Each structure stands twice: as C-alpha cells, then as structure tokens.
Amino acid sequence: MRNRFLLLMMAFSTHLFANTTPNTVTSLQVKVVARSGFAGNMTFNYLKGSQFMTYEREIFFLKKDNPAEVYSRQLPACTQIIYLNSIPTLVNAGDKVQLFLSPKISDPNIVNYQFRADWSGKNAARQAIPYIIDSLYNIDYNKVTFAELNDQLKTRSQQVQEAIVKAKVTDSANLALIKVYEQSRQLLLKCNYTDAHKEITQSKDFNDWYFKDFDITSSAYSQIGDNSISQQTVNVWWYGKKAQDSTLEDQFKVIEILQLSKSELLKQEVALGWFYVEARYKYLSPKLKRIYPAIKALLKPCPGMQAIDSIYHSYQQLEKGKPAFNFALKNDKGDIVRLSDFKGKMVIIDIWATWCSGCVKSLPVYNKIVASYKDKKDIVFLTIAWDDPMAEDFWKKFSKDHQIDGVNNLLLPSDETDEQCIQFRKKYCLTGVTRCMAIDENGNFLDGGLGSPFDVDFEQKISNFYKSRN
C-alpha cells in the first residue's frame, strides 16, 4: 500500500501447526476516515503463516493532509479473530471483509482517538460479533451491585446468542471461537469487579461464580490473532485461582496451562512469556532450572520451544564456575581495562546507566559496600555504565558527581555496531540494568545475577563469597 506499511515481527513470536485450505485466502479491505487534522498510526494484529501460524503486528499511518485511507490485505485461509486498532473481526477462509472505520468523537481536542466500526457484505453480521461482545461487556463495574452485575451478565449472554442466530452462524469452529471470546470478556469483567470488591472472594461460592462456563483448555485460543488478548485471559484466570489460594506461584500457571490446554499457540505463549521474564530478571534461578525440564516434557517441538532452549542455553553461560567473558572497556581515564587484569582477585561488577533512576539511587549503597573493603587487596569493585558513547563527557562528570570515578569506572557503549558491546551483551546476557555480578580470582562466575545493591542479602552474598575464598 504505497510503501506506507511497517511490518513489525514481535520478539519471541509463537507458532502452531495450522490446517489451511490451499489457494483460498481471506481478503481484507478497510477504509479509515479520521477527523480533520489527525495524524497517527493504526495497528493491525492477526495470525499469519502456512505451515506455522505466527502472531503478526503491522502499523500503517494516517497523514494530516490525507485523513482518509484504504488498507488492503490478504490473510491466511483460516478462522481467526483479527484486530484493527483493537476492533475485533471474526473472519473465515474465503471471506471478503469490508470494514469502515470512522471517528467516534469529532472534537479535534480529544487526544484519545477511537473509531466506530461498520461492516458490509454478506458476512458482515458474523464478522461483527466479537465487536458486539466487546460492546455488551463494557459495563461500569463500579456502578453496579453484585446482583445487578449477575443480571447484566445473563442479559448480555442472551444478546450474544441473539446476534449469533441473527448472523446464522452454525459452523462449529466459529461457534467455539465466539464462545471462548465471550468467556474471556466475561472473565475480565468479573476480575475487575472482584478487584474492586475483594470481599466477595471470601464467599464459599466465589470459585463457582468466577469460573462459571469458563474453559481455559479450549483449542479455540489458537484462533485469537492478538496475543495480548490471550495473555490477558490467562492472567485474569490466574487471578481467580490466586484469589482462592494466595500461595500459588506463577510457574504453576505455566505448568497448568501446559497440562490442560488444547491450544498449542496458547501453551507456547504462556511458557515462553514466563520463561523470558524469569530469565531476564532472575537469570538462571533455581526455579527456572526446575521448570525448564517440565516445559520441555510438556511442550511439543515447535519454534516456541526452540526459543526457550535458546534462552536457557544462553543463560547457562552465567552458571557458577563458567568462564566470564574477558571484556576490554575504556575507563574514565581513557585506559583499556580487561577482566583478565584482575586475575587473582575477586571481582564485583555493578552495571548501571545514567538514564536509569534506580541504578543511580543504588550507587551510594554500592559505594558503602566498596568502602568496607577498601583495605582488601584481593577484591576489586567495578562500575560499568551502559551508556551512549556520544555522551562520554556527561558520563565522566556524572560519575565524578556520584563519587564512582576512577580507574575502575568503565563505559560500555550502547552501540549495536560496537563489537565489545555486542559481545558483552551476548556473553553476559545483558537485557537491562541494574545488573550485578561476582567473578572469582580465576575469571569464573560466582554469581551471574547477584541482584541489586538494595536487596537485603546483597552485601551478605558478597561477604559469603569473599570468606569462602579465604
């Protein structure tokens, strides 16, 4: 479409095998009319693929001088719910989708821009059903009593059934997808109400009410084209479980989904999402080591499992006893400092950034620990700033102002063309800051994820490592 589309492949996309009909595609044509003077982007979320289905997200732009735009696309031959700016549409193989989006509010001073959706064509009534469901379950849960909420849930459910009959939907795949979509909207509403009225969790009937007619195991979750909707549904399902048992930990959510769900796409999404977050913030934690074999046993070979394997093997580099990468970084005096320069000494590293407020707040705590070892010759403390190389002068002044300047204050340039930056991020699995590490006198990891100086056991960990060395 005149080179105005930007395809964004989501990091760690998940996939599944799909049955599609060759030579049959779904065609989509969307006309968007914005109010005068509006310039912004439109998002499109859907499932794409042939052998594997993949979450995809595209963005196209509206210009102030041309607020009306027509967007055309060919989609895979499968039943799925697609999303245009969070407006859901139920499509089937061979559908011709004609969607018109117009502004809900004409006032140009309203920043929160929303569209009204209108479908046309012979399948318009069926295509609009998820949108109708969203509208029906958009209930202000703060303004209704528990009894009123239940009455409205019953009424809304009847209205959805009327929309299904009116659209003459009889296909089992469509009905299953409509059912899980409605269930997910119902559960979200119940979750919001429960969160605002936590006293209802004490009722002996809470579990039956919260999960009434809800089925997290349905294979139809593999046909929802926006992974944020599936993630949200899993989260509100787990909220209800934890409301009954606050001791439940998130890794059990992963195991339950892997054991119960018939949707390979949902299983991959939940497993990969948890694994990525756990590894990013807690590195190769004991919990991650315990759950990894379970995920590998319960998740079929697939691109999602390949991504989990890749993350796990990357973080294995940080295990105790593994050699740490021998970096070569410039200190604020202009000299090159290598990890190997400190052979025979225990090394503590604090990776921070001038733009990270939490990192900056922790520097005085780190400095206090450093000062407690000032007379020890067999331990060294480094600070490594992950910062823009163009702001080197600012980093030097900033370091001096925060009393960490000197020969052990290093700069890791945040430059993806810099080989040291590339290797450092890869070898140390650097995904964020603050990040602290402990390395022994032989250049091997003692702890690749030491935590934050604010952690209650941070200083004790260093002390334990130091005492065990001596």
Tens digit of each residue's pLDDT (9 = 90 or more) over 15-67: 333 343 444 668 888 888 876 556 677 889 999 876 567 899 998 877 766 66
Chain mean pLDDT for the chain: 88
Is 1 exposed, middle or buried, given 0-12, 13-18 or 19+ CB atoms closer than 10 A? exposed
User: Given a cut of 70, is residue 193 above it in pLDDT?
Assistant: yes
User: Given a cut of 60, is residue 3 above it in pLDDT?
Assistant: no
Please compute the mean of the pLDDT values over residues 264-293 and round it to a whole number: 90
Quick one: tokens of 150? 């239940």
Instruction: Tell me, yes or no, if the two domains 5-122 and 328-469 fold the same way.
Output: no
Of 63-67, 167-171, 449-453, the range with the highest mean pLDDT is 167-171
From residue 365, alpha-carbon distances to 151, 178, 448, 449, 465 in Å are 56, 54, 20, 17, 19
> What is the DSSP code string of 204-239?
TTHHHHHTTT--TT-GGGGGBS-HHHHHHHHHHHHH
Amino acid identity for residue 28 in this structure: L
Q: Give the model confidence (pLDDT) of 317-342 as tens digits.
A: 999 999 999 999 999 999 999 999 99
User: Given a cut of 50, is residue 253 above it in pLDDT?
Assistant: yes
Q: Give the model confidence (pLDDT) of 369-426 as tens digits.
A: 999 999 999 999 999 999 998 889 999 999 999 999 999 999 999 888 888 889 999 9
From CA 385, how far away is CA 281, in angstroms rounded? 18
Q: Give the model confidence (pLDDT) of 94-114 as tens digits.
A: 999 999 988 776 555 544 457
pLDDT score, position 69? 79
Which residues, including other chains, have CB under 8 Å from residue 414's CB and lie 6 or more apart?
353, 386, 387, 388, 389, 421
pLDDT score, position 91? 95
Please compute the mean of the pLDDT values over residues 133-148 and round it to a whole number: 94
For the chain, the domains span 5-122, 128-248, 260-316, 328-469
Q: Are 343 and 374 in contact (CB under 8 A)?
A: no
**Domain 328-469 indexed as CATH 3.40.50.1360:** no
pLDDT score, position 293? 95
3-state class (DSSP) for residue 375: coil
Quick one: tokens of 187? 């559960």
Candidates 118, 213, 127, 116; CA nearest to 166 is 127
From CA 118, how far away is CA 115, in angstroms rounded? 10
**Domain 5-122 indexed as CATH 3.30.450:** no
Q: Give the model confidence (pLDDT) of 414-429 as tens digits.
A: 888 888 889 999 999 9
Please compute the mean of the pLDDT values over residues 199-212 and round it to a whole number: 95
Please compute the mean of the pLDDT values over residues 354-382 and round it to a whole number: 94
For 13-17, 152-156, 158-162, which range has the lowest pLDDT when averaged over its residues? 13-17
